[in-house]
């Protein structure tokens, strides 16, 4: 699946990537937690074996994008020092070949730190991104990272001690190598337990995942507007909110007209504590 997606991207040969991703308390914390944020400059921390280093963010274009979104009524934050994790680094490495392979505008969508934006806000953000991208006369790739159904052991501010609360407020922003390694080992150990007992965490929900992919394929994005955050958490797990990046990307693509999908793939992977999927799409009138 990855190789096929990489080949489709190579044929398209994007001049710009708008990369939509979540964060896992590696770059965004409760000291200031925006619903949405554009990186005018960004740096990958290199967690879970991903590359560390700067992303190739075109500063003037990212600033222009932020201004256009605000003009369109989207309350977007901006960061001139965005710190991103594997949610951004993995797709760039796996699908493009590296952090510097193509100019990219990173767009963060808060998916774990309540209060969370709802599906409608993510859809409207995507529509505004698409309208802006239409003005560029460039080949723009909308790339979304996150989901599907999953609930790994992510700390929640309302249920942690003072030390962890301080971490979530921002002290976890610059962990030492040993501290980051210990954190990652805890997640890997949780995955081992989940393989043995898939009720020790919120179970994956392949049925919901497939229905979500159907909704994207059918272009019925507004059907998700009525699905509340608590309902989604109960259905598919508290980290499933990451799929709002997918809704945002498909909404952006819809600004170019009707689209058709290809390369659909889905597999529940307990070893990753996640439903894993891929889905490509392009406007019906495009040829590449």
On the question of pLDDT at 218 being above 60, the answer is yes
Average pLDDT, the chain: 94
Q: Which residues are catalytic?
A: 86, 150
pLDDT digits (tens, 9 = 90+) for 195-206: 887 777 788 999
On the question of pLDDT at 286 being above 80, the answer is no
- Please state the rounded mean pLDDT for residues 244-268: 97
Q: Which residues pair with 54 in a beta bridge?
A: 43
Neighbours of 159 (CB within 10 A): 8
On the question of pLDDT at 287 being above 80, the answer is no
CATH class of 2-282: alpha beta
Determine contact, residues 88/55, Cβ cutoff 8 Å.
yes
The domain ranges of the chain are 2-282
- Please state the rounded mean pLDDT for residues 61-74: 98
On the question of pLDDT at 163 being above 90, the answer is yes
The pLDDT score that the predictor gives to residue 195 is 84
Q: Around 57, how many Cα atoms within 13 Å sit in the side-chain half-sphere?
A: 28
Of 129 and 152, the one with more pLDDT: 129
User: 7-11, 38-42, 268-272 — which one is most confidently predicted on average?
Assistant: 38-42
> Using CA atoms in the order 283, 146, 274, 208, what is the torsion angle rounded to 10 degrees?
-50
On the question of pLDDT at 96 being above 70, the answer is yes
pLDDT digits (tens, 9 = 90+) for 179-194: 888 888 888 888 888 8
């Amino acid at each position: 699946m990855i190789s096929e997606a990489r080949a489709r991207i190579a044929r398209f040969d994007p001049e710009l990537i708008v990369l939509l991703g979540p964060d896992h308390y590696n770059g965004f914390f409760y000291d200031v937690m925006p619903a949405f944020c554009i990186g005018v400059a960004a740096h990958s921390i290199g967690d879970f074996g991903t590359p560390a280093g700067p992303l190739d963010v075109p500063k003037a274009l990212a600033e222009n994008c932020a201004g256009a979104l605000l003009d369109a009524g989207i309350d977007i934050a901006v960061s001139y020092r965005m710190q991103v994790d594997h949610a951004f680094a993995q797709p760039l490495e796996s699908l493009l070949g590296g952090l510097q392979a193509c100019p990219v505008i990173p767009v963060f969508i808060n998916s774990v730190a309540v209060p969370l934006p709802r599906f409608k806000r993510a859809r409207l953000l995507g529509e505004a991104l698409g309208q802006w991208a239409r003005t560029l006369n460039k080949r723009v790739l909308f790339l979304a990272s996150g989901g599907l159904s999953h609930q790994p052991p992510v700390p929640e501010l309302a249920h942690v001690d003072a030390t962890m609360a301080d971490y979530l407020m921002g002290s976890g922003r610059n962990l030492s190598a040993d501290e980051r390694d210990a954190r990652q080992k805890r997640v890997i150990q949780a995955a081992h337990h989940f393989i043995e007992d898939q009720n020790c965490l919120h179970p994956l929900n392949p049925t919901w995942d497939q229905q979500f992919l159907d909704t994207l394929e059918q272009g019925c994005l507004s059907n998700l507007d009525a699905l509340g955050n608590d309902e989604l958490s109960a259905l598919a797990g508290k980290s499933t909110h990451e799929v709002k990046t997918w809704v945002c990307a498909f909404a952006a693509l819809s600004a170019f007209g009707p689209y058709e999908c290809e390369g659909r793939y889905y597999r529940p992977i307990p070893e990753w504590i996640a439903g894993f999927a891929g889905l490509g799409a392009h406007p019906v009138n495009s040829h590449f």
